[in-house]
Chains A and B, each alone.
Chain A
Amino acid sequence: METNLLWMIAGMGVVTYLPRVLPLIALDTAIIPQKWQSILKNVPFAILGALIFPGILHINEGSMWYGIVGAGIALLSSWLNWNIILVVLSSVLAVSLFSFLGL
């Protein structure tokens, strides 16, 4: 392995690991004020929104419709309480079909 690249990978590993682990081992949930705990409990839903948009609209360089079709099927199937794996597979299948048909 090239030494320079090895150091780069190790460095990336360190700067990626620290933010993942520091709050887990350094924060004591018992002493965090109630207001902060409420905000932290909001984080998962806010972050999901930010992870989905606008990223899903750019899954295909040519057209936003790929993302819209995929999102629509995922919304529908999860609204019907399908298992998450089925939600993923049906959305993948729909977008593959959309691409295959060259719409």
Chain B
Amino acid sequence: MIPIPAISAANHDFKRGIQAGLSIAIGYLPIAFTYGLLAKSSGLSLLETVGMSIIVFAGASQYIALSMIAAGTGAFEIIITAFIMNIRHLLMSASLNEKMEEDTKWRKAVYGFLITDETFSVAATRTERKLASSFMLGLGLTAYGSWVINSGIGYLIGAGLPETIQAGMAVALYAMFIGLLVPSAKKSSKVILLAGTAALLNSLFSLYEPLSGGWGIILSTIISAAGIEFLMKEEAHGN
């Protein structure tokens, strides 16, 4: 993008954030669309469907809520499940805190709402040393907009995308995660070790029912991030 002196730095960061969020917006499209579709078949109204996307903004928990509503599960159990699913955001938020510029608590409280697996991954793998709050806001709002709008469209259209396109779009977010990881992995073998260890652990955990879903990701991330830091320190001392 060509920098235009007239626009403020914050405005510029916001626009770069929007640009960085486009791949997430594409990736969210089929998932939000399908969520809207399932919500309709679960008997939710349009307002409830879009309202959940606006207020919760968490794909996996919204899907699980739908299946639990359909199974007649109580609200309390659904809320607890959503909590367990999203505890991993504690890790992301703490990690992102290291990378964000200093800012007032209320501004942090605003962009903090926009943290998802995807917005976090895009922000955390940026090469800048510090990220501007307005960048995070532009990034998050682009993802949020796609999530909310496509939930509504999915509900209204009420029919799935063609099967081949659906099959293809299911890979979108994973492809994005790979695209975010590879540039760093090319530069650092530690990155490969961190991702590889967590991937292996999570694959193992996923075989054990209580750890599939939320907890498996948290555990494998903590063990990999802390374990490799510890081992590399030992090695450095040994040398």
| Chain A residues within CB distance 8 Å of chain B | 1-2, 4-13, 15-17, 19-25, 27, 29, 32, 35, 37-56, 59-60, 66-67, 70-71, 73-75, 77-79, 81-82, 84-85, 87-100
Closest residue on chain A to residue B82 by CB atoms: A12
B109 lies within 8 A of chain A by Cβ:
yes
The one of A15, A56, A99 in contact with B174, judged by C-beta atoms closer than 8 angstroms, is A56
Q: How far does the alpha carbon of A25 sit from the alpha carbon of B102 in the complex, in Å?
A: 11
The dominant DSSP class at the B interface is helix
A5-B44, A24-B112, A75-B178 known; A16+B57 contact, CB < 8 A:
yes
Which residues of chain B are near A44, meaning CB under 8 Å?
95, 120-121, 124-125
Most buried by A among B121, B177, B181, B191: B177
Q: How far does the alpha carbon of A74 sit from the alpha carbon of B196 in the complex, in Å?
A: 16
11 residue pairs of the A-B complex, CB under 8 angstroms, read: A6-B48, A13-B55, A24-B108, A25-B105, A27-B94, A40-B94, A43-B95, A50-B216, A59-B170, A91-B175, A95-B168
Contact with A along B177-202 (1 / 0, CB 8 A): 11111111110001100111111111
Q: How far does the alpha carbon of A14 sit from the alpha carbon of B36 in the complex, in Å?
A: 21
Q: How far does the alpha carbon of A97 sit from the alpha carbon of B93 in the complex, in Å?
A: 38
Count of B interface residues, CB-CB < 8 Å? 93
* A15-B86, A52-B199, A97-B168 known, 16 other contacts, Cβ within 8 Å: A1-B51, A9-B56, A12-B56, A24-B108, A25-B105, A25-B108, A35-B233, A43-B95, A46-B228, A47-B198, A49-B196, A60-B170, A87-B23, A90-B175, A96-B169, A98-B168
